[in-house]
Structure 1
Amino acid sequence: MPNSDGSVKSGVSITATARLHMGFFDLNGGLGRRFGSIGVSLDQPSTELCAWPTQGFTADGIGAERAIKTAEKLAEALRLQGLNLPGGLHMRLKQSIPEHAGLGSGTQMALAVGLAMNRLYDLQLSLNDVAKFTSRGARSGIGLGTFSGGGVIVDGGRGANTLVPPVIARADFPEDWRVVLIFDKTDAGIHGQQEIEAFRNLPEFSAEASAILCRHVLMQALPALAEQDLITFGAAICELQERTGDHFAPAQGGRYASPQVAEVLLWLKNQGAVCFGQSSWGPTGFAIFANQQEAETFLQALQIQFEQQTALKFLLCRGRNEGGVVRDIEAFA
């Protein structure tokens, strides 16, 4: 495709990293806005997609089928807006965030595909446009916020006219802190129609509980980030996890979706971990530690303690204080 200056546009590379969704703080919605959530951008795992203009939509690599479906959905949504693409995409996925693990794979794939299409065909789409046309960000704006600028994101939930929950606060994730992810390879979190039904059938969340959680986020979690106080930040996140996890228990089978991840989290608590929980619908769990040495010590102990549970996998990662990466690349070879 030609650029506006007449040069040839070869290809584009998109890197979109995983995020933790640590919970909703207003599931009551009595003030006119519902949900509201806090989350963290991670440096890994990531979705890395390269794309080139072609005819039709093709892809190879892990997540290829999902990428094609996303591209087709976006192209159809654009067509309904009166914009017919002059071509398609060939996409190559170097790696992908695990699907249905609670790490935001669907949103990051949608952003990667959408921004590739936007770059190659000069569509002038914003992140919110891509989210809207691919049906992402319905209840949470965390994934868009982390792609936009990384860090710790707080979104303002949905109001009557909200398209994508707005980011209302962002803070850097402390450079020294580390995150250990806990994967259950045999389980998948609630998603799709099952997720819609779960929200529809859950009992009412009290206004009092929502008020408490909002206070924990505003007056505990965010100030603790500014002061790099993991104990206080962890207290806020654990309160959020306990109250929302118990609320979602009828849908996911307990406070945590995976019994094996739940066992790990209980063990971590008993060993003195101060910040832990489940990301989104899980099954992936997380624990945050004050520094690399502490994280490595806990990780080694976990690998020994749960050596016989082959479904479990652990990954040590960092927070990411910058957004996703979009860059031009050479022509398809």
Structure 2
Amino acid sequence: MSAQASVTATARLHLGFLDMNGGLGRKFGGLGLSLDSPATRLTLTRAPANRVEGPESERAARLLEKAQAALTPDARHSLVVHEAIPAHSGFGSGTQLALAVAAALRRLEDLPHDPAADAAMTSRGARSGLGAGLFATGGVVVDGGRGPQTKTPPVIARAEFPEDWRVLLVSDPTAVGLHGSDEREAFATLPPLSEAASGELCRLVLMQALPALAERELAPFGAAVTRIQEIVGDYFAPAQGGRRYTSAKVEQLVAGLLAEGATGVGQTSWGPTGFAFVESEAAARRLVERFAAAAGAQELALTIHRGLNRGARIEAVYARIA
């Protein structure tokens, strides 16, 4: 048995839902990308009683208790969260924390790795299978939505994110994305998306975004993402103050990036974080320099990131036998 288990899980971008109509018997579905940062890092060891410390410790303690009840009801542990993905920023922080805690427990107690089951066990992935899919494999994934018998929406496609491409993130620390009861109310009150719009979203993913990734063509990939974001943003606008973006400041800066050569722009999940894609590190640095003053004046952060083509890092340290 291992003496200690450590997990590093990184943020994801939710690039858009596919079917908010549900006329074919499945609803939601989505397109997502794993990023190299920010990350959640934690370490789990056995202990006489549960002890949790570090950022997001209260949430982590609840998740640990839930995972223990399902997997190891007689065991207790010490959990240290070294760093955590910012909450309510559109990065899937809650799902990544839940899956990291469960994965650490499984590794420590020599149980099979199963992110999809852990998502269901910890009540994550009610509308999206992207978090579990990206935790497992990284890259760009598509989940197939939720049907009547679905526990965790299944991953139905995966693609590598080109190593040369970069992602620009526009972060607004003064705003938070919709979450909790407000998020549930938004999904409950928004009307179904039209069949035509849902059909266009699915076509954009299947016939433009995924083929462009396979052939490493940024322009058609970016055009597909921008259009997906327009459709989804308009649909969710009534829950976001009538805008496609939670933060008007983020929306303005993202529009500037688009005008200066970036592509594939939008907001991840409920935001407030915005994103844009560029073809290289040099192009990313040029835009950061170009918009540094504007971002600073609006108290926004403009940062450069890579896509991550692997899943969460799960490591064990084994005790020596004397």
Bin the TM-score by the shorter chain: over 0.9
Counterpart position of 2:239: 251
Distance 1:296 1:214 in 2: 33
Counterpart position of 1:167: 155
Q: Which runs of 5+ in 1 are unaligned?
A: 4-8
Distance 2:229 2:53 in 1: 37
Distance 2:282 2:72 in 1: 53
Counterpart position of 1:111: 99
Distance 1:275 1:202 in 2: 25
Distance 1:187 1:296 in 2: 25
Counterpart position of 1:228: 216
Distance 1:134 1:193 in 2: 18
What is the TM-score with the length of structure 1 in the denominator? 0.92
How many aligned residue pairs are there? 318
Say which SS state the counterpart of residue 306 (structure 1) adopts: helix
What amino acid sits opposite 1:150 in the alignment?
Answer: G
The equivalent position to 1:67 in structure 2, one of 60, 72, 95, is 60
* In the alignment, structure 1 residue 16 sits paired with structure 2 residue 9: yes
Say which SS state the counterpart of residue 182 (structure 2) adopts: helix
Q: Encode CA deviations 1:239-288: one digit per residue, 9 max, x unaligned.
A: 11001111001112210111111111111122232211100111111111
Distance 1:162 1:22 in 2: 22
Q: Encode CA deviations 1:126-153: one digit per residue, 9 max, x unaligned.
A: 2122111110111111111111111000
What amino acid sits opposite 2:259 in the alignment?
Answer: N
> In 2 relative to 1, CA 84–169 (structure 1 residues): closer, same or farther, beyond 3 Å?
closer
**How far does residue 216 in structure 1 lie from its aligned partner after superposition?**
0.7
Counterpart position of 1:285: 274
Deviates further, 115-124 or 254-263: 115-124
Structure 1 runs, 4 residues or longer, greater than 4 Å off: none
Counterpart position of 1:6: none
Counterpart position of 1:157: 145
Contact kept? 2:68, 2:75, Cα under 8 Å: no
* In the alignment, structure 1 residue 266 sits paired with structure 2 residue 252: no
Say which SS state the counterpart of residue 297 (structure 2) adopts: coil
**How far does residue 307 in structure 1 lie from its aligned partner after superposition?**
2.1
Counterpart position of 2:205: 217
> In 2 relative to 1, CA 167–144 (structure 1 residues): closer, same or farther, beyond 3 Å?
same
Contact kept? 2:138, 2:310, Cα under 8 Å: yes
Aligned pairs for 1:44-193 within 5 A: 44-76=37-69, 78=70, 85-124=73-112, 126-193=114-181
What is the TM-score with the length of structure 2 in the denominator? 0.95
Distance 1:20 1:247 in 2: 18
Say which SS state the counterpart of residue 99 (structure 1) adopts: coil
Distance 2:109 2:317 in 1: 15
What amino acid sits opposite 2:218 in the alignment?
Answer: L
Q: CA RMSD in A?
A: 1.4
Say which SS state the counterpart of residue 296 (structure 2) adopts: coil
Q: Encode CA deviations 1:85-136: one digit per residue, 9 max, x unaligned.
A: 2222211122111011000100100011111111222344621221111101
Say which SS state the counterpart of residue 307 (structure 1) adopts: helix
Distance 1:174 1:84 in 2: 40
Contact kept? 2:143, 2:157, Cα under 8 Å: yes
What amino acid sits opposite 2:21 in the alignment?
Answer: N
**How far does residue 306 in structure 1 lie from its aligned partner after superposition?**
2.3
What amino acid sits opposite 1:228 in the alignment?
Answer: R
**How far does residue 57 in structure 1 lie from its aligned partner after superposition?**
2.4
Deviates further, 210-219 or 89-98: 89-98
Distance 2:103 2:192 in 1: 38
